[in-house]
Structure 1
Amino acid sequence: MRLRGDGSVFRRGRFWHFAFWLDGEPHQGSTLVPIDPTANGADEDRARRVLATKREAARRGDEVPQEDRLTLGDLRELLRENYAFKQNRSTATMLATFKHLTAYFGERTKATRIGARIERYVAERRAEGAAWGSVRIELALVNRAFRLAVKKKRLSARSRPDIELPPEDPNAIREGFFRRADVERLCQHLPAVITDVVLFLFFCPWRIGAARKLEWRDYSAADRALTLRRAANKTKRPQQIPLDPVHTPELMAVLERQQGRRRPECPFIFHGRNCGTVRPAKDGTRRPCLGNFRKAWDTACAAIGMAGRTPHDLRRSGVKHYIDAGVDPHTVMLWSGHRTEAMLRRYHIVDLDDLRRAGKRASDYRGPATNVVPLGARTAAKPTTAEPLQEADSASVASVRG
């Protein structure tokens, strides 16, 4: 007896087809069992067994209706919707990166056919001159899109391809950093306005984009603190640091110099060439007036023999400076805004001087202190402590006898 919800089989063309509903979604297709009028119902029984198998697979999540119609363009739309839901501000960057995938595979390519061509895609991108880091980002995007498709029940888990990311290129990981003396020498070759930006980013290891968006309303003289607003932070979390002449004198000096350069019509702390021009951004807010100072930066780095450094190296250098000063990693994360210790460890570069100091500490270390007394010294000390006790015992015995 067939129960309600078990589905049904029916004839269509030369084969038996099945149809059933699960969680409000229709499932239908061919059983691939040929219709045989001479089989006395055996063909229909085979079709019903296929129906039962399909229904059980759908309940486990191994079968998704019409998953073969999912295309690469659909995967991109799933990513776009997810970015909008999470309010990510890098949607435009994601779409620009995804264009490399659509250019190679085609927007209407079925998603189930992409996995077998991933390695050829990587080889093609490398032949075009794409860096390993760019290829990793592209594969990570399509991998995330496949996970979303499984989560949204647009694709079954067993149909999701296993996309292996290429290993990170060790040569692409930046390891350049500045020590405090290097930063001071660098500032001697920079304009005064850029000097304050460099000093701020070294003693407050934030991203340069965050420093550009700092406004005077973010500084509280009463609280003696500077706040990075949620809208200005990449992590979309507010961040606050102390700012006073006792605990952070270098940062306070930067702020005082910027107060001397403050313009009534400009809300930003750090100024640039476009300070007098109001430039609206896409979201309607005003663009920061501090623009790109890379030309002056490259000239100054070359002047001190450190060509090739980037302004973002100041963030890495500031983290290392705090750790070398003995600040615990958790507090350094509160300063820099890193959310995981793994990322903080990546920013903390250990150089040869660090290894020299570690070797010197190991050489000077003599092991843990011990309280063990040699056996001979302990036995020799016993008579000196026992003699007064014997005299006291003799005196007490004599007093009792008397």
Structure 2
Amino acid sequence: MRGDGRVFERGHRWFIQYYFRGKPVREPGGLDGRGAKSEAEARKRLKARLKEIYGDRFIGPQAERVTVDEILDSYSAHLKQKGAKSAPGMDSKLKAVRDHFRFMRAVDITTDQLRTFINSRLAEGKAPATCNRSVQYLRAAFRLAQKEGKILRLPYFPTLRENNVRTGFFERHEIETIVAHLPKTIDDIVRFGYCSGWRRGEILSLRWEDVDRDAGEVRLRAEASKTGEGRCLPLEIGELRDVIERRWAAREYSLPDGTSGLSAVVFHRQGRPVKDFKRVWAAACTAAKVPGRLFHDLRRSAVRDMIRAGVPQAVAQRISGHKTASIFNRYNITSDTDKREALRKLEAYRASRPVPASNVVAMSRPS
């Protein structure tokens, strides 16, 4: 019968065939992965396979051979093929996962083993958020493998509770002190971030073809945006326009042969895009007596100050590029003016409520 499968002989070796989800599966009948030497051995193998299927524990011969390393390779290739922004740095992000699970079969990965991996990372001094990212990358790789039919089931991927919401904000005088300790070009990157609330990568991606000085606007290309959506920034603020004009004047750079070139990118070092300035940023923050501050604090500060200035939340989101209002809840960004107005309205409401006449008769105290 179809549901019972069958055994058959080929070249003095026995093989088995059974059905899973309506499709025939053939494999060697031996327990060692090779053809069985006898019909009895093959029937024993077939019986074990049918028991797995009926008990909803079937994995399959192909999935049994897939290793974690192969799954991670496929995941990295998938990201590169679709042009994901995370693709270039994914190999380094997956290194810890590879080192721990490299030679293990995917079917052998259990939730307990994942917890062991997390604990080993914590023992190395890694933050819970870092551990969670590693687990999330592994989970994404497993899900892709499942979609591609390489594995049938996924283990439960545990994660740690994170409490790493950063709440750093800059005041104007702190920005002025920091930029005073920064080299040229980097100081303008900081000023642009403080005024616009744009992400560091978005700022560094700007090319002169994105800037319309006559119309007074800067356009962020969709491919350069974290959200995949482009947006336009008017240069109405004098400081933003000043940054663009300074960078326009600094387009020219010297070449080794004594000639000069014009940079295609707005923020450059000798014609090459600025990519990293963590060291000079950290040194400037230390010199300004605000050590440990993040460039991303500029983004939070811009949004907070826009709200304080009375800019509608939806407009602030369109400028900064926040797709949701979560930042306003996460950092409790709200205008003090709004709070005072709310309390005034509460007081006025309560004062307008009629006070019912009291039925209590005052009693005189005995002398």
Q: Distance in 1 between matches of 2:105 and 2:226?
A: 35
Q: What is the aligned partner in structure 2 of residue 166 from structure 1?
A: 160
State the AA in 2 paired with 1:266: S
By how many angstroms is 1:154 displaced? 1.8
Question: Within 1, Cα distance between the matches of 2:341 and 2:306?
Answer: 21
Q: 1:84-233 to 2 correspondence within 5 Å?
A: 84-105=80-101, 107-115=102-110, 116-157=112-153, 160-168=154-162, 170=163, 172-191=164-183, 193-233=185-225
Q: Is the 8 A contact 1:64 1:153 kept in 2?
A: no
Aligned to 2:314: 330
TM superposition shift of 1:10:
1.3
In the alignment, which residue of structure 1 is the partner of 2:343?
362
Q: Evaluate the alpha carbon distance shift between residue 365 and residue 186 of structure 1 in structure 2; reply closer, same or farther with a 3 A threshold.
A: farther
Please give the secondary structure, in 1, of the residue aligned with 2:262. coil
Shift of 1:331: 2.3
* Counterpart pick for 1:254 among 219, 227, 243: 243
CA contact (8 A) 2:71 2:145 kept: yes
* Contact persistence 1:319–1:336 (CA under 8 A): yes
Q: Which amino acid aligns with 1:84?
A: K
How far 1:71 sits from its partner (Å)?
Answer: 0.9
More helix by share: 1
> 1:72/1:258 Cα in 2 relative to 1: closer, same or farther (>3 Å)?
same
CA distance in 2, matches of 1:63, 1:295: 50
Are residues 68 and 294 of structure 1, via their aligned partners in 2, closer, same or farther at CA, if it must alter by over 3 Å? closer
AA aligned to 1:307 is P
1:15-35 C-alpha deviation (Å, 9 max, x unpaired) = 994333757673557699x97
Alignment TM-score, normalising by the size of structure 2: 0.75
- What are the ranges of 5 or more consecutive residues in structure 1 without an aligned counterpart? 37-42, 279-286, 377-402
Contact 1:68 1:111 in 2 (8 A): yes
Residues 262, 73 of structure 1: alpha-carbon distance in 2 compared, 3 angstrom cutoff: closer
2:205, 2:93 → 1: CA distance?
26
Distance 1:130 1:192, change over 3 A: closer
* TM-score, normalised relative to structure 1: 0.69
Change (3 A) 1:318 1:27: farther
Separation of aligned partners in 1, 2:13 and 2:238: 85
- The Cα of 1:147 is off from its aligned counterpart by 1.4
CA distance in 2 between counterparts of 1:262 and 1:35 reads 80
Q: Find the aligned partners of 1:318 and 1:359 in 2 and give their Cα distance.
A: 22
Q: Which whole-Å deviations, capped at 9, do the CAs of 1:116-172 have from their partners, x for residues lacking one?
A: 312222222222233322211111111112212222222223xx211111111x2x4
> Hey, what does 2:19 align to over in structure 1?
20
- Is residue 19–residue 28 contact of structure 1 (8 Å, CA) maintained in 2? no
The CA distance in 2 between the partners of 1:362 and 1:198, in whole Å, is 37
CA distance in 1, matches of 2:327, 2:64: 39
Q: Give 5+ residue unaligned stretches, structure 2.
A: 32-37, 253-260, 358-367
Deviations 1:316-339 (A, max 9, x none): 221222232233333222212223
Check conservation: 2:15, 2:26, Cα contact below 8 A: no
Q: CA deviation at 1:350?
A: 4.8
Percent identity, please: 25
Match of 2:146, SS state, is helix
Q: Deviations over 1:72-123 (max 9, x none)?
A: 1121123123213431132242221222122122x23111222231222222
Query: Letter of the aligned partner of 2:106 in structure 1?
Result: A
Q: How many positions carry a matched residue from both structures?
A: 340
Residue 268 of structure 1 pairs with residue 257 of structure 2:
no
Deviation at 1:189, TM superposition (A): 4.3
Deviations 1:318-364 (A, max 9, x none): 12222322333332222122233335644x4559xx77983785267
Q: Give the 3-state SS of the residue equivalent to 1:365 in structure 2.
A: helix
Residues 1:9 and 2:6 are matched in the alignment: yes
Task: Tell me: CA distance 1:62–1:359, structure 2 relative to 1, closer, same or farther (3 Å).
Answer: farther
Deviations 1:191-250 (A, max 9, x none): 554332222101111122222221222112454321112343344432221123xxx232
Is the alpha carbon distance of 1:238 and 1:49 closer, same or farther for their aligned partners in structure 2, counting shifts above 3 Å? same
Check 1:371–1:100 CA distance in 2 against 1; reply closer, same or farther (3 A cut): closer
Partners in 2 of 1:236 and 1:357 — Cα distance? 33
Answer yes or no: is 1:71 the counterpart of 2:58: no
User: 315-324 or 186-195: which moved more?
Assistant: 186-195
Instruction: Please report the RMSD computed on the Cα atoms of aligned residues, expressed in angstroms.
Output: 4.1
CA distance in 1, matches of 2:28, 2:327: 49
Matching residue of 2:326: 342
